[in-house]
Amino acid sequence: MTLRAFLFRKSAQEEAATGFRSTTMAPRPTPPAHERIEIPMDPHGSYYDPDHLKRFSDIGEYAPELSKKFFDYYGAVFEDGALGAREKAVIALAVAHAVQCPYCIEAYTRSALEKGADPEQLTEAVHVATAIRGGASLIHGMQMKEVAAKLGM
């Protein structure tokens, strides 16, 4: 049975009663205990494993060419240019908060502090990210207002 057929299957009784197959997904049966894959959590109960950050370069194991291209680009982005390394680390920390990446938050908090930023600067950068993300959410309220107006509400 194909995956599609499995996901969209219908019992023989339901097919006989309705005369057609439903396109709704059937509930998936719980696999037996010996077939379940357990995802271990770190000792603090977090889904994110801090060791992943240390092993990030291993991500290229199955696609080394793409990984090399990414890491070459990544390295070039963080070289000194019009912005210095400290400024780039602070920007990266703000972006990390906006995209909610705990690995990036850890890495760029350390990086920015090591490059001379202070906690007040990091906090301000987080507030900038919060304001941008909040504003982006709020501006979508204009779309909501338009739809509500069109519906006469």
| Percentage, residues of the chain above pLDDT 90 | 61
Coil vs helix vs strand at 15: helix
Written as six digits, the tokens of 56 are: 């990030």
Phi first, then psi, for residue 43 (nearest 5°) are -60, -20
Boundaries of every domain in the chain: 82-153
Confidence of residue 15 (pLDDT cuts 50, 70, 90): low
pLDDT, residue 26, reads 55
**Average pLDDT over every residue of 76-81:** 96
pTM: 0.65
Burial (Cβ within 10 Å: 0-12, 13-18, ≥19) of residue 102 = middle
Superfamily in which the 82-153 domain is placed by CATH: AhpD-like (1.20.1290.10)
